[in-house]
Structure 1
Amino acid sequence: MRATDLATPGTDAWLDRTLGGGVEVFDLGRPLYRGMPQSPNHPPYWHTLPRRHGDAVRADGGSAAADHISLGTHVGTHVDAFSHVSHDGRLFGGVDAVENQRGGAMTAHGAETIEPMFRRGVLLDVPAALGLAACEPGYEITPDDLDLTARRQRVDVREGDVVLLRSGWGARFGRGGPAEYVGHDSGVPGIGEAGAHWLAERRVHAAGADTIAFECLPPGRGHSLLPAHRVLLVEHGTYIIETLDLEAVAAAAVHEFLFVLSPLKLVGATGSPVRPLAVTPKAAS
């Protein structure tokens, strides 16, 4: 989506100094609509109007419409809580996964425990660094690719950052039908286990991508193995953000920004829909 101009934010000295000339905001969230691309592992997005204009009309002629929505917490742009993935029966921090889910909700690591993110964000535009429009289907982004991208963009990845990985696959969202973006038969590009360790070694707070499952999906294998989820969510306590729209921020060559994300306080949930923002100083006119 296109960047939006906002007024200068607030009184914080760093913000006033850095963003004093105004800001541009890149909307990194995907639209939610019936039939949108999504993982087959989760309940689909659904929207209805159970109350319509004219169903009830007040004495003064006023009327109101109201909606009902339902969706899985891992549909659309969303963040994974640490309760989302277990390995050998354990969640992050050694929490017993089976005991944690008794009663129908997660008693530890629920989505309500994810603090709002107001952090330095870094975009690693991998295909741009490789001289491509997009990574090939099923391509595994390696640590060498990540090093090369950071070097060519002249940006470093620091502890506590939110790192967003562009593969170029996001351009397929809403194009050619949902199956093209989900990419089960073709495969989907992304990092593998080695790339996840690259991020974990830099102690990033969260990592995200423009794909359906964040990590590399080999052709025909779908979500059968997700080693990067294990490395980040279970072993290192690093949040994962999926189905991001990174095309506009990449086209503007914005590689460093203020990253803003606020999850819903869904108590005991394994994830939350989000609408992340990349905020950067407005270019001088």
Structure 2
Amino acid sequence: MTGMAQATIGDSEFDRDTAVTPREPGVHDAELPTGWSIGGAVNGGYLLALLGRGLGAHLPHPDPFTVTAHYLSVTRPGPAVIRTETVRTGRALSTGQASLVQTGADGRETERIRVLAAYGDLGSLSDDVRTTAKPPAMPPYEHCLGKEHGDSSHPLAEIAARLDIRLDPATAGWAVGEPGGRGEMRAWFGLADGRPLDPLALLLAVDALPPATFEMGLTGWVPTVELTAHIRCRPAPGPVRVAVTTRNLAGGYLEEDAEVWDSEDRLVAQSRQLAVAPRH
């Protein structure tokens, strides 16, 4: 979808920027670049992928099946430490937990995010599918709106350079000052350097789109409190379609449900998060 040479899994910006360096058993060092930030705060999907990589290096099974994250404080670009622990190891699944901490100028550690996850082998799953779920009705990739239709001063611009997001025009009215009033956001999603998507990149995809509240006319940011992602299978080659909906904004909080569909019309990932509603 891009004219540039295609990056590969293991040799891409995403892989370099989610790399973890072992310090001792269960402890990894990481450097969080500014490029995955939104308004100075590191994106929650990127953090999910980063901790997912740390757990993948720690657990005996290769693929994330379910990952639940609690976002405890704002993560900033810079050095961080990831601590991992095995909770249980079984034949089909292994469960672990991970936390990311950063050290302040006063030398005190602050925990930013804590994750509990189950890992397995997506390649060993049955191909039996019985579902009523359907992929989102969206225009083709080339008929959707890319970065050239956005505002380079928008806070999404920091992370947007790493991503190839093509918004469905039906849910992009907010980008031209005409929100549609519905809690919906749909887009094609890929990585800007053409790296193929894998389970770790799907953890990024479930929290990489603009919030559905933008299309409701609420332009403030939406901090995630808790997010649970389910990875259902490895995606087929090509960009995926991501559909995000918000049905209930009440008491200052809202939910966002995301579905990710691959080029073979398979539901490859799902997520739900609780987030703080914007104030304007």
TM-score bracket for the superposition, by shorter chain length:
under 0.3
Structure with max Cα Rg:
1
Q: Which structure is richer in relative contact order (CA contacts within 8 A, separation 6 or more)?
A: 1
Q: Which has the higher strand share?
A: 2
